[in-house]
Structure 1
Amino acid sequence: MTERLAVDVAIVGGGTGACAAAVALREAGLTVAVIEKRLCGGGASGVNFGGVRQQGRHLAELPLSRRARALWDGLDARLGEDVAFEASGHVKLARSEADMAALEAYARSADGHGLDLQLLGPNAVRAAMPWLGTAVVGASLSPTDGQANPRVVGPAFARLARRLGAEVREHAPVRHAARAGEGFVVEAEGLAVRSRLLVNAAGAFAGTVAGWFGEAAPVAPLRPNMVVTEPLPFRVPRSIGVVGGDVYVRQVRRGNVILGGGRGTGDPADDLARPAGASARGAMGRTLALIPDLAHAQVIRTWSGLDGEMPDHIPVIGPSATTPGLVHAFGFSGHGFQLGPVVGEILAELVTRGRSALPLHPFRIERFAGWRGGPHLSAGEIEH
């Protein structure tokens, strides 16, 4: 039998941003249904690296990232759960003089956004991190950045949304959504939801949802390739990325080293992702060039997941260009984890006020109007 719900806002997708939006909307007094095809927080929100990073982002994202960073400090108290956030600092490493020049250029471009970026030359980087290998010639440190456990953040927002009275429906793949009178109808497996307003936060599936309303949204699947080692003596206090984004490393307090690079594989028929051995081995080799002391570490698990990637590597966030009452938030292209809490607030602002205090013009869906295809970014250009 089909369960029927009527709410103010239906949200397609159950990632961190979607569930954070449900929390904010319930706090604003609106009724909400979150409709997720698998488990909340189990998609891109839960399979990523876990970097809570501001530096290295597209400049258009920095106002969002700065506001998001302030939210992370109080997230445990807000959620009533420990999400393992710590401001460990994020170090972006240079492996050539050209890389160092790129870090210097970014620091100049980001000046004025409030980032406290500290450029480290060869002597300074060795003094600060003597465990780094000779491949490193310099770095940029963002001391207020950090890391958290991605597996727990999305589910914690979903649990809070439930406690506040949101209808959270998991294992309910959405089959179709359409206008219905003054609002919308969303048809999912075993569920039909009528709503005044609709949020498309469907990740890699969001392009299909946008297409139901006549909007081009060229979302391509992005499958990060992740590796974790056995617990090791604690050595890597910072979250680490590199210019070019082809490897990223952090160590959790239990001692496990988490690293990633390259992409996993996937079968479009089942909409899942699997780790790729070649990508994992490549990431391991690049990690050893950065941290030689990990040479004898034992890998205990690899994984991948499914994210949505836009051709210009920044998300779609904002109202529909074709359909009043429809709001989009998707296509975070491998770097949406840190933004999740603020995306929820932005969605709530757009739904309740019709606008956000943050500058969203660069993220408008209209930039893809008339899209006829073109290249997406390569795996080596994913920044962490």
Structure 2
Amino acid sequence: MMRFPISDASPIRFPGPPPAACDVVVLGGGVIGVMTAWFLAEKGLKVTLCEKGRIAGEQSSRNWGWIRQQGRDMGELPIMMESLRIWKSLAQEMGEGLGFRQEGVLYLAKTEAEVERFEAWLDEARPHGVDTHMMGSGAVTERLKGSAKPWVAGLHTPSDARAEPWQAVPLLVEGAIARGAVVVENCAIRRLDVQAGRVAGVFTEAGRIACDQVVVAGGAWSALFLRAHGVHIPQLAVLASVAATEPMAEIFPGNACDDDFAFRRRQDGGYSIAPGSGHDFFVGPDAFRDFFTYLPVLKKDFRSTGFRPMAPAGFPDAWGTRRRWGGDEVSPFEGIRVLNPAPNMDRIARVQAAFAEAFPGMGRPRLRAAWGGMIDTMPDVVPVVDRVAALPGLTIATGMSGHGFGIGPGMGRVVADLVAGGDPGHDLTRFRLSRFTDGSRLIPGPSL
């Protein structure tokens, strides 16, 4: 039986040891870190990727598997369009194992207010050259086999795609290694080695690595690591619950969602299903610290968020998680190798019921597996991708806000050029670190 997703019980494929020195160290073995290492190695730089647990063990193997341009923030859209082109070339190079298919993304509207939001996004995105279009209710019913729900319209991007995340990212890391990257699992980076006010290396649990550049792509752990060095980002994490069904007849070959449920066709003939909106949030110290920064988002998404009083012990924002440690001390990153939260099965049950109501001929989906993942997010729901001016040699690439899997290859290319001092090829102003301190008004990305 296929394992969904990767966990700390998965075999260690890349035990190391890490080298004593290199040009760049990448912290984090998710898709952003892997693709950053890929493109840095292509440039001829000596790059070492350190992952405290397993490659793609956290959100990079726990996401929906969507590769979408549709609904993107306009700051992300050009990078996402590049990323889609890279995904296509990766599929040619790496074959069927990625599970890459361009079968489209379809957003389903139940109300005229949703239709207006879809149309507003499309009006803004159209100048970028997307192939997105609106569909009427009749076209939606025809497109979704056996649907019984009276959706009034749909937003459809035929060129959008899907892939199998728990297969794809481990394959991509092999491509990075083939280009010269060194990858070490089960190797937490405890702290930066800062000398004369700039990065001089990292202290890992396996020893020091000398380097001039470090990329922090640690997902939900990034804020905890950065704060230990005086760098604050208002990053929080929410629990997302996902399930894999047993094989079912095909109703749509791509990805679709409304407010009640989302689904993606998988290679094995089943669907990955999840709530169309709604997450669970563990209240911790960072939530209090950044409460007012997040207030606009909370006002918008309050009804779909389930609040819990505390995170499991050892999680990045758990009440008892240490905030201070030395380079020669066991760090919080060694306490939990892979975040593996229990899914909210009540939410999954509601998804099963909504799916059965929408497609009565299919019946209630039977599940093969269900899992939870921690999505790292930012107040404006777009990432931080920037050099840290106060600490030369440090680059941040985190806060992908649930958008990381699809945009990973393109963002990895951008980050690699940023680190190497080249032209990233896109306007990164939207993702600058200083937006949280320069008085800028934080404008959340689209909530489609």
Fold match (TM-score > 0.5): yes
Q: Structure 2 vs 1, CA of residues 163 and 191 (structure 1 numbering), >3 Å: closer, same or farther?
A: farther
Q: Measure the CA separation in 1 of the matches of 2:29 and 2:95.
A: 19
* 2:60 alignment counterpart: 45
Shift of residue 46 of structure 1?
1.0
Alignment of 1:226-237 (within 5 A): 226-237=242-253
Q: Measure the CA separation in 2 of the matches of 1:78 and 1:330.
A: 27
Shift of residue 224 of structure 1?
1.4
Q: Out of 200, 212, 231, which is 1:184 matched to?
A: 200
Provide Cα deviations, 1:229-269, integer angstroms capped at 9, x if missing partner.
11112222221022x5x531112242111111243675142
SS at match of 2:226: helix
Q: Measure the CA separation in 1 of the matches of 2:395 and 2:18.
A: 24
Q: Structure 2 vs 1, CA of residues 41 and 73 (structure 1 numbering), >3 Å: closer, same or farther?
A: same
Alignment of 1:1-384 (within 5 A): 5-79=20-94, 82-181=97-196, 183-242=199-258, 244=259, 247-261=261-275, 262-263=278-279, 267-270=312-315, 272=339, 273-369=341-437
SS at match of 2:20: strand
Provide Cα deviations, 1:337-369, integer angstroms capped at 9, x if missing partner.
111101111111011125411111000111122
Q: Measure the CA separation in 2 of the matches of 1:78 and 1:223.
A: 34
Q: How many residues align?
A: 375
CA contact under 8 A between 2:105 and 2:161: conserved in structure 1? yes
Q: Structure 2 vs 1, CA of residues 105 and 292 (structure 1 numbering), >3 Å: closer, same or farther?
A: farther
Shift of residue 194 of structure 1?
1.4
CA contact under 8 A between 2:105 and 2:255: conserved in structure 1? yes
CA contact under 8 A between 1:135 and 1:289: conserved in structure 2? no
Q: Measure the CA separation in 2 of the matches of 1:183 and 1:253.
A: 44
Q: Structure 2 vs 1, CA of residues 350 and 173 (structure 1 numbering), >3 Å: closer, same or farther?
A: same
The one-letter amino acid paired with 2:35 is: A
Q: Name the % identity.
A: 28
CA contact under 8 A between 1:18 and 1:34: conserved in structure 2? yes
CA contact under 8 A between 1:107 and 1:117: conserved in structure 2? yes
Provide Cα deviations, 1:97-118, integer angstroms capped at 9, x if missing partner.
2111211121112120111112
Shift of residue 134 of structure 1?
2.1
Structure 1 residue runs without a partner (length 5+): none
CA RMSD of superposed structures (Å): 2.4
* 2:292 alignment counterpart: none
What TM-score, normalized by structure 1, do the two folds share?
A: 0.91
Higher strand proportion: 1
